[in-house]
Chains A and B, each alone.
Chain A
């Protein structure tokens, strides 16, 4: 207790110094006024934000303590997984993989022309460029699940909606990644081919595409990796894949089967990421 009492004045002084730093006098007589550290603004704001948010979302530590252990119970029941369930998982898992493959390919393929139209070193009409990029950005904000959900109503339940959702989403994301790459490219050969009488599209084909092809494949593979994971949950809204199965098994508390599904997902993602990483390394 005494220790605290003695430390108190120093702490108060320290706090005061943080908010109102005193000028320091150097040995040679010059004074330096230290600036307030940014942290003194951030910490109080952060604290208030935390309290406010906790309130809004109904943070209840009691619930956490009481039910928290349940999480580990569930995880416990997932291991060991129910190996007998494998045959039932293969089908939906393949659906997930195929949806990702096709969706990513379509999205990647379509992103080339759209990125072409969005690059400021090729398209000189600022208004057009800005409008196009704005529209792409707008749609890019939507999570893929929303796409899938809406598409389900338009095209019906099943893998088509899922594949289309992946294709659209990948299209938008890759367009941005691609035009950012295109804008860093050496425009010299493009200028040369354009001066030989070729249209901008043809000049692009023969002078810019060779420069970006490696990166293009790399980002396509990266998106494919991401899409496999998203595809897994599209099933939840009925757009194909193992998402629905997962939810079902959770609902019926068949945690050992849930464990298997998760395990299958894990293995799939791991294999794909390894292959993808290998190819991407070879490309650079």
Chain B
């Protein structure tokens, strides 16, 4: 082995340090977290349950699936879930607007922006479920509470996304309008609103998609939608019903995701 090669070999970067620290970090993380996980093994009928659920999904109970008249059947429940999400998203988006505007650093003074942003961050931290637990105690169970929950909890994330859009505003357009002699209202109407509209709409649709899933779990606490019947079916070991409801939910979410994706693509590329 030539001298040069030997020299270069000695110079090689000691990346074993990095590799070992990463490895040890991962091991450490696993080591501290595993004790918190108590594995009790399968419950007595754990395996059965797993199988039954899968079976229930693959072979849905058609009577439940296509019964359009009953309020307990899949179509109505899905409709209710969608409506909860729809109203919740709509109201939430409207409510988020003022918060967004008052938190945008290019529109309001820094101190105000900081306060409102903080508020938005706090609201955003808690999952919708937490709001659900609270609102149940305010307006009682039922789908109305669900919509209310989604409206309020949505303010956080929606406002944050709105703010990102607002802060990306192209000021040049405003300057041009200013130069041609527009007043503030005209500047807002022709300069700001068109830029924001399509992004806001896209954000709202995205939020709707998320809220459909949220609405289904709000049902768990009794806030309407497909959540509660699902949970009670599982709890009562009515696997076929549970599987059917899950099937319905999966189909609903897939459809909404597809439509939402298409719509938002159209918005992004200019309808």
On chain A, the residues within 8 Å of B79 by CB distance are 56
A98 to B125, CA, bound (A): 18
Q: A186 → chain B, closest Cβ, in Å?
A: 23
Report the interface size class on chain B.
Answer: 35 or more
Is B90 positioned at the interface, with any CB of A under 8 Å from its CB?
yes
Q: Say yes or no: B231 contacts A149, CB within 8 Å.
A: yes
What A residues does B122 contact at CB under 8 A?
266
For B134, give its contact among A138, A141, A250 (CB under 8 Å). Answer: A250
Bound Cα distance from A105 to B143, whole angstroms: 36
Contact status B129-A145, CB under 8 Å: yes
Residue from the list B37, B129, B146 in contact with A99, Cβ < 8 A: B37
Encode contact with A along B76-97: 1 for CB under 8 Å, 0 otherwise: 0001101110110010000000
Q: Count residues of chain A with CB under 8 A from any CB of chain B.
A: 58
* A234 smallest CB distance to B (angstroms): 10
User: Out of B29, B83, B140, which one reaches A57, CB within 8 Å?
Assistant: B83
Q: From the candidates A98, A145, A154, name the one contacting B36 in the complex (CB within 8 A).
A: A98
The residue that B249 contacts in the complex, of A57, A142, A250, A270, with Cβ under 8 A, is A142
Residue of A52, A59, A153 with most chain B CB atoms under a 10 A cut-off: A153
Q: How far is the CB of A163 from chain B (nearest CB, A)?
A: 5
Q: Is A10 an interface residue (CB 8 A)?
A: no
Binding site for A on B (CB under 8 A): 26, 29-30, 32-43, 46-47, 49-50, 53, 79-80, 82-84, 86-87, 90, 121-122, 125-127, 129-130, 133-135, 137-140, 142-144, 146-148, 213-214, 216-217, 220-221, 224, 230-231, 234, 246, 249-250, 253-254, 257, 271
Q: Which residues of A contact B (CB under 8 A)?
A: 38, 49-50, 52-54, 56-60, 63-64, 67-68, 70-71, 74, 94-95, 98-99, 101-102, 105, 137-138, 141-143, 145-146, 149-150, 153-156, 158-160, 163, 229-230, 232-233, 236-237, 240, 243, 246-247, 250, 262, 265-266, 269-270
Known contacts A50-B86, A236-B220, then 5 further A-B pairs from the complex at CB < 8 Å, ordered by chain A residue: A54-B87, A74-B134, A155-B41, A266-B125, A266-B126
10 contacts between A and B (CB under 8 A): A50-B90, A52-B83, A71-B138, A74-B138, A102-B34, A102-B36, A141-B253, A141-B257, A149-B220, A243-B129
